[in-house]
Amino acid sequence: MEKFNHVFTKQGDKGYTKLYNGTKVDKDNIFIEANGHLDELTSYIGLVKSKLEDKKLVQQMEAIQNQLIVVMGVVAGLDNKIDIQSELDKIESWIIEYEKKYPKQTSFVLPGKCELSAHIDIARTICRRAERNLVKCLRESNIDDSLPKYINRLSDYFHVVARYIEFVQVIDEKVKEIIWSADCKVINNKLNDINLEQAKKIMDGVQQKASEMGINVVIAISNKDGNPIAVHVMDNAYIASYDIAVNKAFTSVSLKMTTEKLSELAKPDGSLYGIQFTNNGRIVIFGGGTPLIYEDSIIGGLGVSGGSAEEDTLLANYGADLIRKEWNR
């Protein structure tokens, strides 16, 4: 009969376990307790990771989990020293990145603005508990003194990510309020959608107007779902204008407003301040994007990039007028 190795060994039933070097210790030994907190932290990060939709954050959380496994090995006696400075530098760069994506805090944070940020705040508090236990370990061993510093920095990382997640949710809620408010007369239904032939005619008209103005632009047109259906690049247009024009078209459709109007709402005192940090950076908050509207229905979006914000706005509005004329034929 084939021997099967079960998960249980019964060797720890009397309250003892072993460190990596074979030393027998009580299960409430400070090193075992420290690793218990780190194990709890790793598992809770897994819960957070399972709820995240942001792929970049998922990758960061997974990298942290892998590093915590290394730290747990050190605490258990696998090695006394590890090179953790590069990991510290990485975490600090992530902290700086996310700090820039939400307004500066002016008051004490009360966790729980949304479910996901609440989970991340719990991960932060587990970090703090693990850090306190590692400090105890330092008093009794020569383990690397950079470990508590790394865990401390992780708690800072979870703090800023939780605030970023809360900020994104607040922005999303405000966007929904604006889009569906009584003042928003534009609707998006299952009526007409712009097609490629019509898009080409609009782009030809905008190109002709841009040539008359003496500027070289990129013209992008999306359907009513925000997906690009045509992009026209004039000779000598800026390379960067391609993505900007596509994103302007996307922004105008997804928010059902011109990017010129959005630029006002996205000012520091505006109701959508910080919206440009959402949707993986695809939201554009300067002029040149407009919904294409026919009979109060959004049928597509138009983005123009290459001139000044004022010039791009003029060309986008010109294109929007063309689509109305084209649809009336």
Q: What pTM, to 2 d.p., does this model score? A: 0.65
Largest CA distance in the chain: 87
Higher local confidence (pLDDT), 67 or 15: 67
E-strand ranges in the chain read 16-18, 24-26, 218-223, 228-233, 289-294, 297-305
Report how far residue 258's alpha carbon sits from residue 261's, in angstroms, rounded to the nearest whole number.
Answer: 5
**Which pLDDT score is estimated for 176?**
64
pLDDT (tens digit, 9 = 90+) per residue, 211-258?
Answer: 999 999 999 999 988 999 999 999 999 999 999 999 999 999 989 899
Helices 55-75, 146-179: axis angle to 10 degrees equals 160
Structure tokens, 155: 């708690």
Domain coordinates in residue numbering, the chain: 16-179, 196-327
Residue 2: predicted pLDDT: 58
Under the banding of pLDDT at 50, 70 and 90, the label for residue 5 is low
Per residue in 255-303, pLDDT (tens digit) is 989 999 999 988 888 888 888 888 778 899 999 999 998 877 889 999 9
Nearest-10 Cα torsion for 135, 141, 145, 146: -90
State how far the Cα of 78 lies from the Cα of 143, in Å rounded to an integer. 10
Q: How confident is the model at residue 3 (pLDDT cuts 50, 70, 90)?
A: low
16-179 belongs to which homologous superfamily?
Answer: Cobalamin adenosyltransferase-like (1.20.1200.10)
Q: How does residue 189 score in pLDDT terms, banded at 50, 70 and 90?
A: very low
**Which is the CATH superfamily of the domain at 196-327?**
Haem-degrading domain (3.30.450.150)
